[in-house]
Structure 1
Amino acid sequence: MSWTRATRYRHYCEMTEVEEQELLEIVNNSIWRQKFHIQPPYGLLNDPNGFTFYQGKYHLFYQWFPFGPVHGMKHWYHVESEDLIHWQEKGLGIAPEYEHESHGIFSGSGIVKDDLLYLFYTANKRDQDWNRESSQSFTVMDKHGKFTKQEEPVIPKQPEGYTANFRDPKVWKNDNIFYMIIGAERENHTGCVLIYKSVDLRNWSFEGELKTNFENFGYMWECPDIFQIDGKDVLLLSPQGLESEGDFYQNVHNSGCFIGSLNIEEYSFQSGGFQELDAGFDFYAPQTTQAPDGRQILIGWMGLPDITYPADKDMWANCLTIPRELYIKNNKVYQSPVKELEEKRGSLTEWQGKLSKEEKYLENFSGKTYELVCNLKVEDGTGGLKLRTGKEEETLLYLDTELQKVVLDRSNSGEPVAVDYGTIRQAAYTDNKISLRIFVDTSSIEIFVNDGELVFTTRIFPQEESQGVKIFADDTEVSWDMKKWEYGD
């Protein structure tokens, strides 16, 4: 299909039943549909939005263009869950309605006040010359799931000195005052976040930039989020325009965080360096919420802007990551799969043993959807796994003790993805022992190293028959202890 402005900027209400049925038929025949990840019914999914615990359930929205696998007129699609694992699709949540949001509902966040869920978002408009106009607005959802939208934006435009790249409000409460941070771009094309405050969520005053140690760090800070873990403040964001540095910042855009101290009176955030949160290929625009038991839970977009994926031909694009609990250890944010995921574990297969300069096919470990836990020790050299193997396909994950790196290689994972940005991702690792927890779905792999010290997230697009698992030891001896659980829908 040829995507023009006219076809990209259609409202969901314009979709006919015939169009929807045609889309569903194409999507349902896709061999890459996921089994345990949030994914769109059809069309394009991107940023997670409005992630909030409300009325006994987790509510999550995501950016959605219904008509196909391209970025066009964005809506919010709504899913909810009682346990972070089983998600019920609620359908369309928020759609463009007023003039100031004529070209889409962009990203934002949720907060509960007076037994109502306030959902703040960026309203996107284009003028006749296609110049962007950005404002901030909200809708309110009650306990019955009814949405009541604010007719006028509460922040009509960006302040002086900033471009219309002014989006993605995150709202939180401190004592009796509400604060909002918004990702922004200065007129000199450097990124920052702006801060506003309110006592009622409806009337907001601009307080200035959030002062940080990083005045020249990318050109736009998207999807900011701020929260506390164990008494330390964390500023999460997705800065666009970072130059690659060694193994870091290898993707078109990247996401990470600063750990530091927020001074809410002076609107300053003092921190150490930036931590890239994911060493893999496909991770962006994460958002967090606090669970009732105090855990900070993160979900990210398993995709990237400006990248096409093989499933696009099947008229759907992208999914979200599994939910991850965040904690701080050694002044670093760790990500651990939420404990609720253990409920999805089915039949168990185990294997222990050693390999010496050989490769072994693990017959009982094959499949398309499973959780794999591996503890291995590499004596001196390279040892690791080959996942989703087939006649000519494999995804490699291994420890190279000579290079002192963990390496993920999707050069032969199936249909190629974003090869201009490389097919290998790696991260420094100095030990010869490693613990891996791996979640394999139909078209994705998420890898957690040493309880989330390192994380690799990647989409892969193998043929359906490529389901094998192999282990290997190159010119060395490797000790293995492996467990695999089947995963259903």
Structure 2
Amino acid sequence: MSESRLLNQALRAVLSGQPRAAADRHRPAWHLAPTVGLMNDPNGFIQFNGRYVLCYQWNPLACAHGAKFWGQWSSADLVHWRHEPLALAPAEEYESHGCYSGSAVDNQGVLTLVYTGNVKFADGGRTAWQCLAEQQSDGSFRKLGPVLALPEGYTGHVRDPKVWQHDGQWYMVLGAQDQQLQGKVLLLRSADLHDWTLLGEIAGSRVNGLGDFGYMWECPDLFTLDDSDVLLVCPQGLPAEQYRWRNTFQSGYFCGTLDYPGVQYRHGDFHELDHGFEFYAPQTTLADDGRRLLIGWMGIPDGDEFAQPTREHGWMHTMTCPRELTLHGDRLRQRPVRELQQLRGQETQLRGIAENLPAVDIGSAELELTLTGSCHFSFADTLHLSADRHGLTLRRHNLRSGEEETRYWHGEVRQLRILCDRSSVEIFINDGDAVMSSRYFPQPEPRLRLTGNAQITLRHWRLQQCVIE
């Protein structure tokens, strides 16, 4: 299909569907969400010429996974965003079944996208091309086409390039599946972004003594933080255990050291990035001030997404809030970016035994609290959090089956920072030692009620709505 026809279809979908989507009571006040249609992975996250750019996987034509476009926002402060021209539409033969995930780089002053062109064949087979597109003076992108074909020894599941510079060379990590159906991360090198050399596998199932660890690794992101090389990745196919790996697919990280000349990545254990119900495909960027920032998709592939009520209003999914990453030993700490404090309205402070405290509004709110003892948090009688000496247990009823489902975090709970936004809750534990992110769909005017004997000190702010320009 021609690009002009695809753009016309997308424009028609936005204009016809936006009023209904905007009227949905579950639509976020300040989290990023699609105007219409289905949104998933964050892509092309970068600070370029003083503005943050965030692209995203998007099907504007339906609340379904189909041939993905790249939508685009930008922001000066990570709080107030504006829509930018559509970055990519799947119009070419080498991307006929979607412009899949990728990253963005500053190539000598030119904002350049590196992404996967996805192609599926009538016989059920598929292939993937790694492609380039350059931003033009009017903000649109000119496609340069494929620069890397499917490497030998791998299935058609090779995607999600993340690119960075090191010692004057460009490097890329790719998620991949080998012919034995094992998930891998590939490392490649280029002098000019066009001619790439596959250096080898640096991580994956049956690599570095890891053993069997999933049939596909998606969305790799490798960066240096302090003195460690951190690899974010989303392994698919890890069997659920009693207290971990309970989502359909996982998102986590390794800490280690990348030996560039030796093409070896020596790493420690795999740690989950988020212990909630919805978190996947995170991407980071290095801000001009030196912070490593992360945004994730508050969704899970092949979960209960199509039972979410927003689908009836013509839109699906949100991003997480932007987060700052720091490293403490071999563990990442995540905190909401400090810029979000601009949204705070009047502060209310409460102190006392949990069950004696009044309910507080959580339609669009931030809470900071310390607690000593056991406590139960009821988010609009829809999402439930229990804190005790073992840690945290998060519960809700599955939208498809109606059965109760649970997620866990083990450890001493000293402090919580909770960000609420109409249909999402992000719980930051002990100043960011862990996070639990989840969607939920409460009735109007949701409130948080506390019970239990814990001694609570609570600060509460209503958060202002952020209108995307």
TM-score calculated relative to the size of structure 1 = 0.90
Q: Secondary structure at the match of 2:253?
A: strand
1:486 aligns with 2:462: yes
Which of 164, 175, 180 is the aligned partner of 1:183? 175
Structure-2 separation of matches of 1:18 and 1:220:
36
C-alpha deviation, 1:98, in angstroms = 1.6
1:100 aligns with 2:94: yes
C-alpha deviation, 1:316, in angstroms = 0.8
Change (3 A) 1:41 1:399: same
Count of aligned positions = 457
1:354-369 equivalent positions in 2, closer than 5 A: 354-355=353-354, 359-360=355-356, 362-363=358-359, 365-369=360-364
Show the counterpart of 1:400: 388
1:154-233 equivalent positions in 2, closer than 5 A: 154-157=147-150, 159-211=151-203, 212-213=207-208, 214-233=210-229
Show the counterpart of 1:468: 447
C-alpha deviation, 1:396, in angstroms = 1.7
Change (3 A) 1:143 1:234: farther
Amino acid at match of 2:154: Y
8 A Cα contact 1:310 1:417, kept in partner: no
Show the counterpart of 2:143: 149
Mark the runs of 5 or more structure 1 residues left unpaired by the alignment: 1-5
8 A Cα contact 1:12 1:66, kept in partner: no
1:329 aligns with 2:328: yes
Structure-2 separation of matches of 1:296 and 1:335:
10
1:293 aligns with 2:286: no
Structure-2 separation of matches of 1:453 and 1:306:
28
Change (3 A) 1:132 1:275: same
8 A Cα contact 1:352 1:481, kept in partner: yes
Change (3 A) 1:375 1:419: farther
Show the counterpart of 2:78: 84
1:4-403 equivalent positions in 2, closer than 5 A: 12-15=6-9, 19-142=13-136, 144-151=138-145, 153-157=146-150, 159-211=151-203, 212-213=207-208, 214-307=210-303, 308=306, 309-355=308-354, 359-360=355-356, 362-363=358-359, 365-378=360-373, 382-387=374-379, 389=380, 393-401=381-389
Runs of 4+ with deviation above 6 angstroms: none
8 A Cα contact 1:360 1:470, kept in partner: no
C-alpha deviation, 1:247, in angstroms = 1.0
1:441-456 equivalent positions in 2, closer than 5 A: 441-456=421-436
Change (3 A) 1:454 1:421: farther
Structure-1 separation of matches of 2:15 and 2:134:
31
Structure-1 separation of matches of 2:417 and 2:241:
27
C-alpha deviation, 1:199, in angstroms = 0.5
Q: Secondary structure at the match of 1:423?
A: strand
Identity %: 38
Change (3 A) 1:420 1:471: closer
Tell me which moved more, 82-91 or 288-297: 82-91
C-alpha deviation, 1:91, in angstroms = 4.0
- Residues 293-329 of structure 1 deviation map (CA, whole Å, 9 limit, x = unaligned): 1111000000011132221121111010000011111
Amino acid at match of 1:485: W
Structure-2 separation of matches of 1:405 and 1:19:
45
Amino acid at match of 1:397: L
C-alpha deviation, 1:468, in angstroms = 1.9
Amino acid at match of 1:297: L
8 A Cα contact 1:194 1:210, kept in partner: yes
Change (3 A) 1:145 1:421: farther
- Cα RMSD (Å): 2.0
Show the counterpart of 1:3: none
C-alpha deviation, 1:10, in angstroms = 12
Structure-1 separation of matches of 2:123 and 2:323:
42
8 A Cα contact 2:104 2:113, kept in partner: yes
C-alpha deviation, 1:277, in angstroms = 0.6
Q: Secondary structure at the match of 2:349?
A: strand
Tell me which moved more, 138-147 or 228-237: 138-147
8 A Cα contact 1:75 1:105, kept in partner: yes
Mark the runs of 5 or more structure 2 residues left unpaired by the alignment: none
C-alpha deviation, 1:193, in angstroms = 1.0
1:459 aligns with 2:451: no
8 A Cα contact 1:190 1:215, kept in partner: no
C-alpha deviation, 1:28, in angstroms = 2.1
C-alpha deviation, 1:281, in angstroms = 0.1
8 A Cα contact 1:277 1:455, kept in partner: yes
Change (3 A) 1:419 1:177: farther
